[in-house]
Structure 1
Amino acid sequence: MTRIRHNDYGVLRPPAPGSWHPRLTVSVVIPAYDCQQALERTVASLAHQTYPAELVEVVVADDGSEPPIELTGARVVRVTRGWGRGAARQTGLLAATGDVVHWLDADMVLAEDHLEAHMRWHHLIDYAAVIGDTRFVESLDEEGEQTPYTRKTLESTRMLKDAASNAYLLHTGASTSVRADLLRAAGGVDARLNMAEDTELGYRLAQAGAVFIPDPLARARHVGPSTVMLREKDVHRHNWSFLGDLIPDLRWLRNHPRRNWLVPYVRVVVAATTYEQTRATVDSALAGTLTDAAVTIVGPWGKLTGERRSSLDDPLLDLRLVHNLYAHEQRVEFAESTPVSVAPAPFSVSVPTGWVLGADTLTTLVRLAEQDTLGLVSAVLSEGADGIEVARLERTAAFSRAALFHGQADELVDEMFGSIWVSGQEYGFAPAEEAEPLTGDAAKWRGVAAERATELAAARAEVARLTAEVDRLSAAPVPPAGGNGPLNSLIRHLRSAG
């Protein structure tokens, strides 16, 4: 299976429709509510697809229609838990049996090779999220056009090949398809959501390693305008009230300086050792300028039972003290083992216990990773006879995609996303016994101080460079005043500066 770097699927060569032999099954899942007539038209267009009929099933998730939907050519399942588009999509997913799940709106009319265009990509890789070319029309005699947002995004990103980590923003429920295994690995559809459930699902698919592929040959017409087209401001007002909690990548929705969010932007992973060292590391992670961070402390927490014990001589005293300290801190969770993935958080940072993060450490590490959409940043903390100690920032999407292949994870991540080594000291890491205390200045001002310290180091380096230049020029004879005016002036300037 081909390994794709970032979202550049251009290395794939899908066969032309009609020139290949399909083998994968597909479940077309359509959420529906009181739309019998439109749905009949959509299912009728599915009956004329070039993709082999024996490989296709159509599942309609009826979200409480009255009278209930009845259809020939589709299996109708009723939504019995919850209501809305998220609940309907998840109900349809649970009923689907195909290798691939193809989401479809109930008011779509498909070109005859629509399914085939989608499915040819899934035969090439098993981590594709294919996005159909949906045109909005008022009547079936129109060709229609894409939404301005879709058109602008595709034009500015080379059809999402250059979209990096934001390609999921075009994932919609109107016409997208993904392998069922990847969909379930991402957690399925959030049944609580009645709007924006497709965008939120797209984000989690990205964290699961998906590549998003818009296919202009997967043509379809959406009869009538979308809700966004009719009431864009109202839709945004509604959706932005909860998407900030669920999609950390939408940084502009997280502009509050103190709030905690359901899904953190960065999850720091620390192993529980002594009370003092664990506290030093965890507290520093919680006190940085990137407040959108949470911590997982790994330890044998199941051993902390409630039987009588010596309060001061308990063999598990340090473990118990750590648990006492953070039991009611909402940004800290306890785990028995290191998590395989921190999804849906987009980044994890693992820090050896006893090392302290600077005020700006998380901010600058993430900024570095985002510059080139790196999958791994390794910060060297110390080096000795036993090897090196390293703190690691890992991009969740990169390691999820690497897990789809056989091989060493770091090497696969480097190939598909890129990786880099940096100095831990340069990024603010320090041993706990050498770190500045957290009390006093707010994190913001500690961050400013860290920036000023970096600027001072750069200024000192520049002074050293100029001093060396002065020494070099001083060793040479000074030309006569009239012999080389500009050079003579430069030397006098450097000497006076020194």
Structure 2
Amino acid sequence: MTARVPRNDYGVLVPPCPDSWQPGKTVSIVIPARDCQRKLDLTLAALAVQDYPAHLMEVIVVDDGGPLTVPPGVRLVPNEGWGIAWAIRTGFGYATGEVVLRLDADVVPSRGHVSAHMRWHHAADYLVVLGSLRFTASETGLPPVWALREAVRDGREAALFEECEGHTWWHQLVDEHDGLRRAPSPLLHRVHVGASVSQHHDLWTQAGGIDTSLVLAEDTDLGYRLTQAGAVFVPELEAPAWHLGRSTLMRRQTEVKRYNAPFVADRIPYRRFLRTEGGRQWLVPYVDVVIDTRGASYEHVRGGADAALVSTLPDVRVTLVGEWSQLHDGRRSAFDDPRLDARLIKGGYEHDGRVRLVEDPGPTSAPAPFRLVCPPGWTIAAQTLATLIEKADATDLGLLHIALTETHEGIVTARLERTAAIARARHVIKDGEEFDDVVHELYGSEWLDGEELGFAPVDTGVKPPIVSRNTEAAHWRALAIDRKIAAGRLEKQVHALERQVAALEKKAAKGTADTARWQAKAENWRVQTVRLQRRGERTVFKRALRKARRLLG
């Protein structure tokens, strides 16, 4: 029975105990190398004293521009192309092991490095195991080969190197997500570092191997496609290794990111921040909308396909399934052709770069991370796909069932499938099991109401508007712009009102001060008036008294 890992929670697996297990799987160690004889000698010396059984190991060095020499027992092969991607593909082509461990030529593994990788591969055959790297501060002053071999054999290699600080992002990602056990699907490819990584040869092949057109970012791209193949990523801290010197990313980070950006954007839809431009077509779509056209009318198919193509998501592909090979080019009636609708569908979409016509859509839409399977005759709103993916990503769900309507034959549904979940379920399902039940067990699933999400029947009586195919998307963008403008105007009005209030408050404050001042003046005048009155009264009294005295006199 194949072990079942939900999402990336490899903690449910029980790898063999290091002290008592009996290794049985063969492993090929592939080392791409170019002009690095001194470092390669140290790497091979460390591999020569591994504790994994020697008869189960083979070491293949791919020479990408020598001349290089290797000791007896190590296979040296020429690169079939140029560059590291081609070297890796060449090495995998020569590899005979069930598992392939890719190791860089400037990496010194610990004595138990290979065993730590292989213990996991004995527990399940769809794992990607990642070694833990430490970087030396210098590439010079390297120890002699004999001294390193003895140190690795005795577990003392750390004493030979001074560690370089600064390479912490990988360990931070691992720690932040509980050793990746709780890592969401869109994050996993980021930790796929090629300096020490292993997987079953069949899993590598299923993912499509490495993209030899890439000069950089080939590991990131492969990690993404391994995710879509249903792989589980295991960071093994018990597989430490020393990287001799700083990596290219550490030394030239800005240049590496600038170079990689267009290639990563084209191939990895998870990097949403790299796909901000409108009107672009990408190599790998974010979601593939699959419509089975067999037996459907042209109008029903057109309604669903055109609605998907004007989604607010900029990277949508539409796959139309039909019996296209049966459409002959011989003499036929324009109106009485028994395959008229299929011919109209093909005529309408065969030259659209975002639409593909296939007879078999395959079990998944890999490398696209999502697939929406929708019956013909149904249309979606512009924001529907974005809403569905947001819902799926909120808890890393593997399947969304969308109820569209109910007929006498049952419920008509659409479904959003996570590619990684479908691939994993296909790998572990047993005879007699319901496929959707297995997907639910591994990733979870949920039922949703189609009408609430913007699904609606195609109205074939409505004449299609003679406008650009991007009309609906443009409508939503224009609406968003209008709302932004309105919000800006409202904000300006609020600021104006705030200024008016401040002015009124200032006037009110001034009025209060004036009132107080006039009140003080009035009080002063009152006091002066009383004083004058009293003075006047005293004057009058004095005058009367003097007059009386004269009269009495």
Corresponding residue for 1:480? none
Inter-partner Cα distance in structure 2 for 1:120 and 1:43:
21
- Cα distance in 1 for partners of 2:298, 2:237 equals 58
The equivalent residue for 1:73 is 73
1:353 is paired with a residue of what secondary structure?
coil
Q: Deviations over 1:103-129 (max 9, x none)?
A: 100001111000000100000111110
Aligned equivalents of 1:69 and 1:56: distance in 2? 19
Equivalence for 2:177? 157
Q: Are 1:193 and 2:193 counterparts? A: no
* Structure 2 match to 1:124: 123
Matches within 5 A, 1:139-178: 140-142=160-162, 147-165=167-185, 166-178=187-199
RMSD of aligned alpha carbons: 2.0
TM-score by length of 2: 0.78
Q: Which structure carries more helix by proportion?
A: 2
* 1:303-333 C-alpha deviation (Å, 9 max, x unpaired): 1222222223222211111111111100000
In the alignment, which residue of structure 1 is the partner of 2:292?
271
Partner Cα distance (2:461, 2:231) in 1: 40
Match of 1:254 in 2: 275
> Could you state the TM-score of these two structures normalised by the residue count of structure 1?
0.87
Post-superposition, which runs of at least 4 consecutive aligned residues in structure 1 deviate over 6 A? 434-438, 447-450
> Could you say what secondary structure the match of 1:3 adopts?
coil
- Contact 2:322–2:357 (Cα < 8 Å) also in 1: yes
Query: Is residue 2:99 matched to residue 1:100?
Result: yes
1:115 aligns with 2:108: no
* Whole-angstrom distance in 2 between the partners of 1:84 and 1:281: 44
Residue 308 of structure 2: which of 285, 288, 301 is its match?
285
**SS of equivalent residue, structure 1 residue 319:** helix
Note closer, same or farther for the CA distance 1:44–1:435 as it changes in structure 2 (3 Å cut). Answer: farther
User: Does 2:446 correspond to 1:420?
Assistant: yes
2:154 is matched with none
Q: Equivalent residue for 2:534? A: none
User: Are the aligned partners of 1:280 and 1:355 in contact in 2 as well (CA < 8 Å)?
Assistant: yes
Kindly indicate whether the alpha-carbon contact (under 8 Å) linking 1:43 and 1:73 is maintained by their aligned counterparts in 2: no
- Answer whether contact 2:382 2:472 (CA < 8 A) is retained: no
Aligned to 2:436: 410
Partner amino acid, structure 2, of 1:127: Y
Please state whether the residue corresponding to 1:404 is helix, strand or coil: helix
For residues 156 and 444 of structure 1, what CA distance do their matches in structure 2 show? Answer: 39
Q: Which amino acid aligns with 2:97?
A: G
Q: CA deviation at 1:13?
A: 2.7
1:438/1:16 CA distance change after superposition, 3 Å: farther
| Partner residue in 1 for 2:62 | 61
Alignment match of 2:395 (pick from 372, 393, 410): 372
Quote the residue 1:432 is aligned against.
458
How far is the alpha carbon of 1:233 from its aligned partner?
0.4
Residue 224, structure 1, aligned to residue 245, structure 2: yes
What is residue 443 of structure 1 aligned with on the other side? 473
Q: 1:19 and 1:397, CA in 2 relative to 1: closer, same or farther beyond 3 A?
A: same
**How far off is 1:379 after superposition?**
0.5
- Comparing 16-25 with 366-375, which one deviates more in the overlay? 16-25
**Alpha carbons 1:62, 1:69 under 8 Å: kept:** no
Are residues 1:348 and 2:347 paired? no
CA distance in 2, matches of 1:412, 1:401: 9
Structure 1 unaligned residues grouped into runs of 5+: 451-498
In structure 2, relative to structure 1, the CA distance for the partners of 1:7 and 1:219 (3 Å cut) is same
Q: Which residue does 2:33 correspond to in 1?
A: 32
Between the two proteins, what is the percent identity of the paired residues?
A: 47
* Consecutive unaligned residues in structure 2, runs of 5 or more: 143-159, 481-553
Q: Determine the C-alpha separation between the residues in 2 that align with 1:436 and 1:195.
A: 50
Decide whether aligned partners of structure 1 residues 180 and 146 sit closer, same or farther in structure 2, where only a CA change above 3 A counts: farther
CA distance in 2, matches of 1:274, 1:350: 17
What is the alpha-carbon distance in structure 2 between the residues aligned to residue 415 and residue 338 of structure 1? 25
Q: 1:144/1:20 Cα in 2 relative to 1: closer, same or farther (>3 Å)? A: farther
Q: Higher Cα Rg: structure 1 or 2? A: 2
CA distance in 1, matches of 2:280, 2:463: 24
Task: Determine which of 404, 416, 419 is the counterpart of 1:393.
Answer: 416
- Give 1:449 deviation, angstroms: 7.4
Structure 2 Cα separation of the partners of residues 312 and 77 of structure 1: 63
Shift of 1:187: 0.7
| 2:264 aligned residue (226, 243, 261) | 243
Aligned to 2:330: 307
Letter in 2 for 1:72: P
2:347 match: 324
Give 1:485's aligned residue.
none
SS of equivalent residue, structure 2 residue 335: coil
